[in-house]
Structure 1
């Protein structure tokens, strides 16, 4: 069976590259490179994946993103069996697969973003410093620490994601998901920015940041449902 047949055997939509595995892989690589360019990861830390049908295309373990090319396409099924490529998938594969099996995610971005990782060591939930928390489903939770690549960490992440599209991982980093890689990456950037704002405001001597109330966040969530351009 060809890579294309293996990936496109399901009708599940994974964005604009849903029926084109090579294009989907190119988007995975481009997104991974963006995480490095935007300072969200260092070296080969973090990982990116996209679901196409019942196959997950995922960045391989220990390979710098700028060295990945079309022939490095790496894919597994939802049970974790490698069905495309020869490179070993990311060590965080259990976390990615758990999210795909439990949610409607079509793309996942995991990073070791500096400010978000710092905040993960301080709180159990990101303080409501900005209304864009509504874009992630509400107050962002921090998943308890567990060793990377473990089923325990995957379970903690799923619990933290309940009703959310992003979370922090204690002493580790971030995970966000979306309907497209662009959306998942944007959510990662928003989460890192919110953490940076809270850390900056918290450093002012003698002052504590003003935080939003749950009701104010709910009001924003209602507005966001109608945000953006609408079809004719």
Structure 2
């Protein structure tokens, strides 16, 4: 099937939507660097087994412009010429490939949080957990790195505003959530941080599934006080210049 393209117009002409500025909100070099990092992150989700095929999507915000992976294009085929960007209102301002079908979800995160990057995957263990419980049990202290117990957003059809709304409620006070029968969403101030949160979430889901599968035994969980203590300790974690 030929790739769907955003420059197909009713009047038979091609090009970006009327009034679209191809450089809105970003300098060309900055956008090029951000696109390169975005594509590398998207390819990493495949290499690490967090998505299969073209499922999942990644975005990064530069000013009021959002660079986002296009719909239905394998990540290993993306080139610098495929840079795809939209404004916070969803209007396409750069590129000809149609943005990801999950664009409403990405834009909702940017409109309501301080996110600069968003990663959405269909990770196997996380998706499995999303079908079993309304909230990931606090199986590990890295729960604190996501802001607290990870909630499951109720199911809604992919690419809809309803899904975006359910996701926002699950993200309240959190930097990641599960999407019921669907996958994961995490965000951060950088692509690396957003991706690391996704990887940590998938690992915790795998850990809980593994521990809870042992016959006759129930996994121990962290208490509210134990999680609060970790939250304080994490504030000083890492290198300080």
Q: Same fold (TM over 0.5)?
A: yes
For residues 205 and 109 of structure 1, what CA distance do their matches in structure 2 show? 35
Q: How many residues align?
A: 222
State the 1:2 CA deviation: 6.7
> 1:201 and 1:109 mapped to 2: Cα distance?
27
Alignment of 1:38-49 (within 5 A): 38-49=48-59
**Does 2:108 match 1:98?**
yes
Quickly say closer, same or farther: Cα 1:226–1:155, change in 2 above 3 A. Answer: same
Q: What is the 5 A alignment of 1:132-143?
A: 132-143=142-153
2:160 pairs with one of 150, 162, 167: 150
- Is it true that 1:6 corresponds to 2:24 in the alignment? yes
- Per-residue CA deviations over 1:195-215 (Å, capped at 9, x if unaligned) read 000000011000000000111
Alignment of 1:1-232 (within 5 A): 3=22, 5-8=23-26, 20-231=30-241
**Residue of structure 2 in register with 1:14 after alignment:** none
Partner secondary structure for residue 176 of structure 1: strand
Q: Which runs of 5+ in 1 are unaligned?
A: 10-17
Gaps of 5+ in 2: 1-19
Task: Calculate the aligned-residue CA RMSD, in Å.
Answer: 1.3
Of the two, which has the highest radius of gyration? Answer: 2
Name the TM-score, length of structure 1 as normaliser: 0.94
Q: Distance in 2 between matches of 1:190 and 1:225?
A: 17
Q: CA deviation at 1:19?
A: 7.0
How far off is 1:8 after superposition?
2.5
- The secondary structure found in structure 2 opposite 1:20 is helix
SS of the aligned residue for 2:187 comes to strand
The runs of 4+ residues in structure 1 deviating greater than 6 Å are none
CA distance in structure 2 between the partners assigned to 1:112 and 1:155 by the alignment:
19
- What are the Cα deviations for residues 17-63 of structure 1, in whole angstroms up to 9, with x where unaligned? x9700000001100000000000000000000000010000000000
> Matches of 1:205 and 1:199 in 2, distance apart?
12
